[in-house]
Amino acid sequence: MSLIDVRSVTKTFVSGDDRVTPLADLDFTAEEGEFVCLMGPSGSGKTTLLHLLAGIDRPTKGQVVIAGEDVTTLSASRLAKWRTRAVGYVFQQYNLIPVLSAFENVEVPLLLLRMPARERERRVGVALAAVGLADRAHHLPRQLSGGQQQRVAIARAIVTDPTVVLADEPTGNLDRTAATATLELLRRLVDEFGKTLVMVTHDPQAAAVADRIVHLDKGHIVAEPSHA
């Protein structure tokens, strides 16, 4: 069984008098330790699929199974606990808390788990070292460059040792140099740490670092996955 197994998933939203279906009877899989890129025009369903994988939203019908867990059947409380442990999410806008240091931003997900302070400190230190920011631990986001802020966000995403890392346009706000460094870091998460990573991007250069590219349009996979 694949680590990620999306089975016949449809997602429909009601918008006024209209029904919008960003995903329609979609099947999607990803193997353990695979780096998959989702590409397609705006409105093709890429971010909707990422939200379903993260347990941020639920499908209208179908199943989302991750590491053998059918997350569509979990209660709200169990889903929240599962998401904290199983999913690391990297946002385009970084979503760092401005008044917290890099260390404190990375620590936030661990505060939701029952964990001694010493273990939290150790994990944060490991995560910041993994992204090359151990020497910036006490800097506030405004004291960091955009690329450094994104690396803090990546450290926050991996600090719980999640099953899956999801990245939504992680290089969209970065210059080419910072974007290249961020993509190299995401590649390392797969190659050195064995993470399974699903990334949404519009950038063909960003997509080229993935193991496989999946093209979506109007809620459907429109091309067979191709190896980058």
Q: How far apart are CA 4 and CA 219, in angstroms?
A: 18
- Residue whose tokens read 């699903």: 198
Check whether 1 has a pLDDT greater than 80.
no
Check whether 181 has a pLDDT greater than 60.
yes
210 in any annotated domain: yes
Contact 201, 175 (CB under 8 A): no
Residue-level pLDDT at 228: 45
pLDDT in tens, 105-145: 999 999 989 899 999 999 999 999 999 999 999 999 999 99
118 in any annotated domain: no
Given the DSSP bridges, would you call strands 61-66 and 4-15 parallel, antiparallel or unpaired?
antiparallel
pLDDT in tens, 141-172: 999 999 999 999 999 999 999 999 999 999 99
Provide the CATH number for the domain around residue 32: 3.40.50.300
Burial class of residue 204 in the structure, from the number of CB atoms within 10 Å of its CB (0-12 exposed, 13-18 middle, 19+ buried): exposed
Residue-level pLDDT at 20: 86
This prediction has a pTM of 0.92
55 in any annotated domain: yes
The whole domain housing 85 covers 4-97+150-227
122 in any annotated domain: no
Check whether 53 has a pLDDT greater than 90.
yes
Residue-level pLDDT at 224: 53
21 in any annotated domain: yes
Q: Tell me the mean pLDDT in the region 179-185.
A: 95
124 in any annotated domain: no
102 in any annotated domain: no
- How many CA atoms, within 13 angstroms, populate the side-chain half-sphere of residue 172? 13
pLDDT in tens, 21-44: 999 999 999 999 999 999 999 889
Number of domains in the chain: 1
